Structure 1
Amino acid sequence: MYKIKEVSELAGVSVRTLHYYDEIDLLKPAHIEENGYRLYNEGNLARLQQILFFKEMDLPLNKIKAILDDPQFDHLDSLMKHKKVLEEKQKRLEKIIQSIDQTAQAIKGGRKMSRQDMFEPFDMSRVEAHIKKYEKEVKEKYADTEAFRQSQQKTNGYQADDWKAIEIENQQIYQSLAELMDRDPADSEVQQIVHEWRMHICKHFYNCTPEIFKGLGEMYISDKRFTDNIDSTKPGLARYLHDAIQIYCR
């Protein structure tokens, strides 16, 4: 466990900011002692890192909270997107440094630089394009639905151990279904596991109506990140789960 001052020094974030993140439920400490001292665990640090990544992209705190609280949030995919934006920023900074060197050489040599060479390094269009692309995806994917609001309310109090238990349950259901992939998706035992999956979502996240459940099934095969995640248990499982869900929701 880390005290709030230790987290502040480690992440370069003020104690006041961490207090504020706690107040708005963006980053809740893992434990608060009787004397009021906040204690943070490794899960809290991982979430704080994500918050700082998103802030680097100038996303507002309410949007960052919505993204991180979503049960389908993909940590690895998020990191790759952050990396892409930062790589574009890095390229831009390298061009600015190069431009400084060229300008210094031009001054020493008594020659003029072209207007394009003078101002091209300050072009933010490529960086902004990547940020806008990511923001558009966030808006489309994390719509302000009743299910999403329910999910936020349920998951706000979850700690690292809660998420670990949920992930274990996820994998148990995936594995049980993977073992039956040689059967027809309409098989009664397969359908029972699909029902367990829907109840799992209802229990931990939101009221997963048949309409929502059917939509999730479509997402499992239309969004590569979901497909890859489910197929990591067994290749083809995402498609099989999709087909079984469609039968379940008839």
Structure 2
Amino acid sequence: MKKPFLAVKDIVQITGITARTLHYYDRIHLFKPTHLTEKGYRLYDRSSLGKLQTILLFKELDFSLKEIADILKLTKQEQKQIVKRKRQALLSKKQRLETIMIALDEYVAGKDISQLQIFNHSSVLPLKEQYANEAKFIYGETESYKEFNETLENLSPEDQEVRFQSMEEIFKQIAACIDRDPASDEVQRLIGEWKENLSQFMTCDAELLACIAHTYKFDARFKNYFNQYGSEDLADFLYSAIMYHINR
């Protein structure tokens, strides 16, 4: 003969959740027993299992217990709509995580961080786009900007890649000097290399260099980019080093 009620131990055996969890769900009025014995033992009818399984489903989908309590008040159709939206969100997250995993594998294999496709789905722009935006932001339709574009267009993709990697290597070396004085010989040597790299694209006078330094310090794009090297102060450090280079 089938038992009309399930005890806590029966629910534990069927679902795998703990007795402590069942007691807690009772206390917060999320899933209450169907019946209490004279000795205070909790009993559940078979139909209540469906409600518990719904609770466990939404908990698995990372909804809070408060959210689940509200969801249980909805119709089955409304609950299904919530599940559909959650599925779409999880699918997007899955695709994002797959992109991150590929990027991490490439990074471990030796690919430079600026070349990882992870930045194509991030608020941080890829380095090439940052340089393009920098030039347009600073120079607009000036002669310097036209000179930059003409020089860049005459370079092969391979040459462009070499130039960008060279500039990034300088930033890495400057980041390694973050604890030094911006006016130190080593830092100023690296700023000289940075300026020399820029000079291959455009004429670098003091006004232009000061404008770039200002952009590094105050443009969030560049602050985010420089943070990749492990120091939130690198943008400010670059600004100080460049301004010293200009004014010395």
The reply to whether TM is greater than 0.5 is: no
Greater length-normalized contact order (CA 8 Å, ≥ 6 residues apart): 1
TM value normalised by structure 1: 0.43
TM value normalised by structure 2: 0.44
Which one has the largest radius of gyration?
2
